[in-house]
Chain A
């Protein structure tokens, strides 16, 4: 079966020949020899998918049958509606925008405190604020939507 792997949202075709070059050396730790070069990589199942550590970088991997490579994940690569979500549990210190505001890329939207640090959550691209779903002082959980941008 031909597999399509999505690494951090970036589709990569799996070269079947590479499959021959991989040896599991410790549980979850793999040695890869490519053209005489030696690499080590690690794979850890996580809540959001498979986490792969290779070359000092960590990727979130989704493995799927190439035929099922759906439109929804393609759409996620482009524009459209976008939710700013809390990446971990924390507390909303200050909401910096209101519904209807037009924001620039990099503009601060919400200040969240987690693990004793305050972090300003920024817009990753320009857009308009469609909805603000939290208020100052709210406790938020990981993955909870804070602001909806369009």
Chain B
């Protein structure tokens, strides 16, 4: 087993990986940018190395600096987390060249699956159905127009190198196509240094269901069941759960989807952890979307239901251990559900809300797990993803898991930055959500039918009185600077409150 592992990441996932390393008595090396000198992952790691200025292109994405830090600290392996360099085949290859183990699949597998276009071709070869579309980049607008017309609107533009919804656009009508290609390409270029986008047909009312797979270096492959991630806002997952409510009703689908995921993995010569993503239509047909060749943000729901530690499993596989179990040993027990807690403002189009976390109370209690990357007093930098923490609940059944998650959201208090905590409570209270009738349009639908959330009595009075008390304590009334230029968002908030 490794003696020392460098984590080429930051935030909550770096903290998660440090915990797995410590559980296995392996030393951890954190890396950090100027913005992250005081970050939780730096505080918790055994060793830490500065790798550059705040912009990730000059720090967390710099292969040379990450490898130099690994060399300097004598790390024998690198865990890339997710995002940043995790799906960069050149990074995996550079690690190999530098004699340090990349904790993930081979550079060759990443290459074959990293481009969504190449992955589609590979899935077809493996006999797995894919969403109708074609594999050519939509650079030529007239060509794209022709293809979109053949598929029928709405169509979806996707970044070939993409992930996390970046470079992705739904196009409902032809007049929007050209502008959407331009926006998607420029976003893809900035996010992935690859401007290629391609066109797919939109599957109506789809569920997003993905299969966790694991394989060792000796060709043994298993699946660890599905996660349903249909709750998305602008193609970013916000709530994930295992099992999928849909598969719970159609249990044979776990086998067929698991089998499809493993066929793709075999075709790609895959090892370590990976996730095959599918869209499932209301009739139970499913279509391959892409493989994420790394640990997923939402891996905790699989951990809670299977009882496995997926990061430890990654480390063991990378160190050359054989898979410690076979497919028939995998058991799924109970229900787990996760929400991604972000510094963003649900009352203001979910705009990111970086800033100082003035106060923080974290939830705990039965069935609650919190993977957090922040602490009170920490300033959430605006240079990175606004994810603060993942709150996960486990219970024997879905209803109880929802109740626990709802309860924990109520205990969770973050002051200083705005968060989506209250919005998650709204989702969990929604009848359609509680019945498990989900699709990827669910959140947009909820936002459209959402009633202005009026604070329950006597919250307004309590808040006002508290403001008066806090202001008088400071010695003077805290008269805010009333700018003559009223913010459109704040005005909208006022409108809602007054209705």
Contacts and interface: CB of A to CB of B under 8 A. Distances in A.
Nearest to B460: A12
A76 B486 CA distance: 7
Interface residues of A, number: 74
B488 A123 contact: yes
A32 B468 CA distance: 14
B121 interface: no
Contacts of A64: 477, 479
B463 to A, nearest CB: 4
Interface string B263-279: 00000000000000000
B467 A72 contact: no
B469 A50 contact: no
A104 interface: no
B484 A72 contact: yes
A22 B480 contact: no
Contact of B471 (A8, A46, A50): A50
A113 B425 CA distance: 28
Which of A19, A55, A73, A125 neighbours the largest number of chain B CB atoms within 10 Å of its CB? A55
A87 B348 contact: yes
Nearest to B414: A53
B460 A45 contact: no
A149 B234 CA distance: 27
A1 to B, nearest CB: 9
Interface in B267-315: none
A41 interface: yes
Interface residues on B, range: 35 or more
Contact of A122 (B345, B349, B422, B478): B349
A85 B485 contact: yes
Contact of A52 (B410, B466, B479, B486): B466
B494 interface: yes
Nearest to B179: A94
A67 to B, nearest CB: 12
B386 A5 contact: no
A143 interface: yes
A97 interface: no
B366 interface: no
Interface in B178-211: 179, 183, 186-187, 190-191
A130 interface: no
B384 A32 contact: no
Contacts of A134: none
A15 B465 contact: yes
Nearest to A50: B478
B275 to A, nearest CB: 21
A14 interface: yes
Contacts of B487: 83, 85, 87, 143
Interface stretch (B17-25, B62-70, B240-248, B352-360): B352-360
B493 interface: yes
Given A85-B485, A93-B186, A29 B494 contact: no
Q: Would you list the 6 A-B pairs with minimal beta carbon distance, nearest first?
A: A49-B480, A9-B494, A61-B467, A43-B470, A5-B464, A12-B464
Interface of B: 166, 179, 183, 186-187, 190-191, 234, 345, 348-349, 351-354, 358-359, 382-386, 409-410, 413-416, 418, 421-422, 425, 453, 455-456, 458-471, 474, 477-495, 497-498
7 contacts: A6-B480, A49-B481, A50-B478, A56-B425, A60-B490, A63-B477, A116-B385
